[in-house]
Copies of this chain bind each other. A is one copy, B any other.
Amino acid sequence: MGDEFCSCDIVHENVIEMVKKKMPQEEKLYDLAELFKVFGDTTRVKIISALFEAELCVCDIAELLHMTQSAISHQLRVLRQARLVKHRKEGKVVFYSLDDEHIKNIFNQGLKHILEPRGFEYALQ
């Protein structure tokens, strides 16, 4: 028994079967990773964080983050495609804002983890 993927013999087959049955579909987990990937960049996190406070145009964000308009525009595209921001045009100016109530929750849960005091065992790592 056991695939070629692990050389070991002590695989706990019954536990594996149980876990396999309970796990979400592969596709959902893939999408989930794709979503978190979007949150996994400092620039994008900053943009999201800024949009919590106010609707902003591309130039505002560029100015705020001290980055080029192009760089911001590229990242806004990623955020748009992930359905995290929406935009509203007013003449030449495009205003961006957050598009989802879940975003703040995801964000805050993440912050809770970050701010949690580190246990003893981790001080050693």
Contacts and interface: CB of A to CB of B under 8 A. Distances in A.
B42 A5 contact: no
Interface residues of A, number: 76
Nearest to A121: B86
A6 B116 contact: no
B59 A19 contact: no
A67 B114 contact: no
A113 interface: yes
Interface of A: 2-3, 5-8, 10-12, 15-16, 18-20, 22-24, 26, 28-42, 44-46, 49-50, 53-54, 56-60, 62-64, 66-69, 80-81, 83, 86, 93, 100, 102-103, 105-107, 109-116, 118-119, 121-122, 125
